[in-house]
Amino acid sequence: MTEHAETGAAAGNGLLRGKVAVVTGGGDGIGGAISRTFARAGARVFICDIDTARAQRTLADIRAVGGSAEALVGDIRDKSVTAQLHRDALAFGAGRVDILVNNAGHFMPYKRFVDSAEEDWDTQYQISFLHVLRCSRLFLETMYAQRSGAVIHVSSVEGQRGIPGNAVYSAFKAGLINFTRSLAVESGAFGVRINCLAPDMTHTPQTPMNDWLPERDKVQCWVPLGRFAQPDEQADVALFLASDLSRFVTGETINADGGTMAASGWYKVQPGVENWSNTPAMVPAAFDISPE
């Protein structure tokens, strides 16, 4: 199986020249790729990340190729950090912010809902949903005044299907999708577009491809495109949503999943056992549609 090489091929075309972008969780993984891709497309990028080393590494990457970027290191769950992010980003952009990417999120270990604690729910709520509400409200006030802007929420395909062992995560990711729709209806009159990116099977620090190595040979059965995504492939979709290429697109969720939503569901590994998988080990011969 051939792995995709990270190229960022779509970015070096000036699609975001002159724009100011804010990316939460922008230091690594999909968020880091979005930060670098936006910078290569000409945007000035303001990053918020909880990890100093990750934020500084991405800043260095951007500056090394002549880009402009700054970062705020802080926990996005903290309301004061969200407020500071808004202030600092406006100062960085000389009073203007054109793009907001609400990317920060947290995928917790699998646990049955009845075994979960309220502390788990609250953690998911604050990272995966509440920070999106807070950031959106603050930056939308700026964008409404500008009469322009693009907001991208990073959800998940798991917000569109049942996921055993992560019901709360799924609920908040589903909430983001409908928040996107509703907010798009409110924001259109102000020239602001709201869209959602829903990834799956992406090689990031939270979901490292190497953790799947024992069953790597089955990836081509699980993902119609036959491989994990790289973060830059998600970033290219975000670039489309942030740029004028999508100027008549709002309220939409784009699944960047290699086809998993089109092809898969969740399955019991064996009858009578509460052990679920969305990666079935066998594809019946009757459904073999591989090329001759």
Q: Hey, which residues are catalytic here?
A: 169
Alpha helices of the chain — where are they, by DSSP H?
29-40, 52-64, 79-92, 118-125, 131-146, 167-187, 219-222, 231-242, 260-263
Q: Do 210 and 267 form a contact (C-beta atoms < 8 A)?
A: no
Q: Do 67 and 239 form a contact (C-beta atoms < 8 A)?
A: no
Tokens of 16: 């975001």
Instruction: Please list the residues that pair with 197 across neighbouring strands.
Output: 154, 254
Q: Do 132 and 175 form a contact (C-beta atoms < 8 A)?
A: no
Cα 27 to Cα 127: distance, rounded to the nearest angstrom: 15
Cα 152 to Cα 106: distance, rounded to the nearest angstrom: 17
Cα 120 to Cα 113: distance, rounded to the nearest angstrom: 10
Cα 61 to Cα 154: distance, rounded to the nearest angstrom: 22
Instruction: Of 106, 135, 134, give the one whose Cα is nearest residue 119.
Output: 106
Cα 59 to Cα 190: distance, rounded to the nearest angstrom: 32
Cα 136 to Cα 194: distance, rounded to the nearest angstrom: 10
